[in-house]
Chain A
Amino acid sequence: MATRKRFPAEFVERYSRFIPDFDDFTQAMAAPLPRTVRVNTLKATREKALDWLSDLEPEPLPWWELAFKVSDEGSIGKRLEHFLGLVYVQDAASMVPALVLGPKPGERVLDLAAAPGSKTTQMAAMMDNSGLLVANDFSRTRVRGLVGNVDRAGCLNVAICRMDGIRLGRAVEGTFDRVLVDAPCTCEGTIRRSGEALGRWSVAASERFGRLQKGLIVAGFRALKPGGRMVYSTCTIAPEENEEVVAYLLARYSDAETCEIELEGFSMRQALAEWKGVWFPEAVASCRRILPQDNDTEAFFLACISKKEQAC
């Protein structure tokens, strides 16, 4: 119960409604985040990267052979293997959206809100540096970080754009095999990494972001080819930025359908069926919530959406 006091009363009142083990949740949110890294296979094999990391006692995560928990000593960013791009520091939950999207070598993939590039570089490696990966972000300063990370990871299959995501979605309609919309959000799920998100927390902010996210999910869906697949993700808990956004897309596009999400060895919970008395379409139940107490990660939300093939 004591950890509840670290959160605003409204936050507790709001989220204890649908997180049944809410005390476990607040305890996990108050605990330090384990440090995790991903091996960048564009630069090194798993074995070579592990050699470099050996003094940090890398511990494999059970759900992906390239993800490791490492000890907290020193800054990884100041190590040679980081400079060489052999490893990328990334929270475990943040590796899941790209795994669910599953881009393949030679495909055309869009990362609509890409900066700082953790998922872009992950997908570039999953595509084996082939095909086309368009990494877009609107913010000039964030794009600078994206360029740096794409360089360090050695990505030859990435085109970087700095455009309004909604405009980009219109310009590339029906082009991509896969689209990732890792939408800008209130970042409630990152509270255990930095208290910043909690400092500016408000329901109004979630409602504001919800409007932007609805535009972005539609833009991402428009960019998909028929038969293509999109993942919508956020690192936040608010239903206004998650289930409501997916429901908005499903209500407007009859060719949008949700897909089941599973990752062996990684616990995820079902999305909400109802929020504030409004019931979501049944298809929203396929979306998943990642809660910090389940896998010792940040909190995340995931939806996997496919665009139906056109009838002949």
Chain B
Amino acid sequence: MLSQVRDICHRFGISESVFKGLVDIQLQDTVFVATEDVMSFDLVRPMRRGLRFCRMFPRSVKPTTFAMQVLGRSATRNCIDVDNQTARQLVNGSQVEIDAGPDVENGFVLIRCQGFVLGTGLYKRPLLKSQIPKYRPVEE
């Protein structure tokens, strides 16, 4: 497992067993995760394998929204649960004030709604800033 993936798992308390049967590779500044069969397919050169897991920036590693939605379901740390109304605001790119409790550290967090991971946010107590990419706006 790549160190960036291990670090993200550690921050969010994601069990490494989630990655059973999956392979991670780094291409330039991005880590991709896919099944072993996808990663070993070499008869042609795919333009994309599996999901983008995270992107490396000079001072941080940002987990992607769509990878966290599927691989972050078992997260136990640094998660903030929001109601539907707040979830919609965050998907639309807003920032909200939120008391996440003493266990949540500043920095990247997973935003959850009704048990589903919406994506990532940047938490600097008490402000939660959405890191969810611009999508079509959801109805608020």
Contacting residue for A154 out of B21, B51, B91, B113, CB 8 A: B51
Q: Is the CB of A80 within 8 A of B43?
A: no
B47 at interface (Cβ–Cβ under 8 A)? yes
Q: Bound complex: CA of A154 vs CA of B118, how far in Å?
A: 12
Q: Bound complex: CA of A79 vs CA of B91, how far in Å?
A: 10
Within 8 A of B (CB), among A159-205: 159-163, 168, 171-172, 175
Q: Bound complex: CA of A85 vs CA of B119, how far in Å?
A: 12
Stretch of A127-135, A255-263, A264-272, A286-294 with 4 or more beta carbons under 8 angstroms from chain B: A127-135
Q: A-facing mask of B126-140, CB < 8 A → 1, else 0?
A: 000000000111110
- Report the nearest B residue to A175, measured CB to CB: B43
A interface size (C-beta, 8 A): 43
Contacting residue for B48 out of A42, A83, A160, CB 8 A: A160
Contacting residue for B35 out of A42, A48, A83, A131, CB 8 A: A131
- Report the nearest A residue to B32, measured CB to CB: A156
Given contacts A78-B136, A154-B66, 17 further A-B contacts (CB under 8 A): A43-B70, A52-B114, A75-B139, A78-B139, A80-B84, A80-B88, A80-B118, A80-B138, A132-B35, A156-B33, A156-B38, A157-B38, A158-B50, A159-B34, A159-B41, A160-B48, A168-B44
Question: Which residues of A are at the interface with B, using a C-beta cutoff of 8 A?
Answer: 42-44, 48, 52, 74-75, 77-80, 82-86, 106, 108, 129-134, 143, 147, 150-152, 154-163, 168, 171-172, 175
Question: Which residues of B are at the interface with A, using a C-beta cutoff of 8 A?
Answer: 21-22, 33-35, 37-38, 41, 43-52, 66, 69-70, 84, 87-88, 91, 113-116, 118, 135-139
What are 24 A-B contacts with C-beta separation under 8 Å? Answer: A44-B116, A52-B114, A77-B136, A79-B138, A80-B87, A80-B88, A80-B118, A83-B135, A84-B113, A84-B118, A85-B66, A108-B37, A131-B35, A151-B66, A154-B51, A156-B51, A157-B50, A159-B41, A159-B49, A160-B46, A160-B48, A171-B44, A172-B44, A175-B43
